[in-house]
């Protein structure tokens, strides 16, 4: 694992400060994130689940959305995401889709679980086949849905991601 440098520490502290500020302001849970490119913060995000009534408004997701808007692109290559806590499974998926170069985090998922943010059940559910998950998943195959996928596959001007 690469060692942290002074810049990593400074940007991680910014994510932590943001988590505290927005938590104290009643805007959500104790999570903050910043996206950095070329030594500058290009976006900030914080947990807005309760204030925005949006279960997907985690710090990492809101920071990724803001960074992509700022860059005018759906990828974050060349960027580092600094976050106050190890990402949950949803955020981890969003991070992989956004493709930053790296992620630097402070608190662990075990520390988050200790204060009531336990995502372990989701980590356990992900590798299960859909019919073995706690939440009911119903597969209804559809020729119409397959036709849309076929049209995408044959679309000459698609933007791959």
Residue whose pair of structure tokens reads 């998943």 in the numeric block: 137
Q: Taking each helix axis from N to C terminus, what angle separates 59-71 and 6-24, rounded to the nearest 10 degrees?
A: 110
The bridge status of strand 40-46 relative to strand 102-107 is: unpaired
> Catalytic residue positions?
60
**Degrees to nearest 5, angle at CA 90 with 111 and 6:** 55
Per DSSP, 126 falls in state T
**Ramachandran area for residue 95 (φ above 0: left; ψ -120 to 50: alpha; else beta):** alpha
Q: Identify whether the C-beta of residue 11 lies closer than 8 Å to the C-beta of residue 42.
A: no
């Amino acid at each position: 694992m690469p060692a942290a440098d002074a810049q990593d520490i400074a940007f991680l502290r910014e994510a932590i400060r943001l988590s505290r500020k927005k938590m104290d302001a009643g805007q959500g849970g104790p999570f903050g994130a910043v996206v950095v490119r070329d030594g500058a913060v290009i976006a900030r995000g914080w947990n807005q689940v309760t204030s925005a009534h949006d279960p997907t408004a985690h710090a990492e997701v809101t920071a990724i959305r803001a960074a992509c808007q700022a860059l005018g692109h759906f990828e974050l290559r060349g960027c580092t995401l600094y976050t106050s806590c190890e990402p949950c499974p949803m955020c981890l998926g969003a991070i992989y889709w956004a493709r930053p170069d790296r992620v630097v985090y402070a608190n662990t998922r075990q520390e988050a679980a200790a204060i009531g943010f336990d995502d372990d059940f989701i980590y356990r559910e992900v590798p299960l086949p859909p019919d073995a998950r706690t939440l009911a998943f119903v597969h209804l195959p559809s020729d119409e849905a397959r036709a849309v996928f076929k049209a995408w596959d044959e679309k000459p001007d698609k933007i791959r991601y």
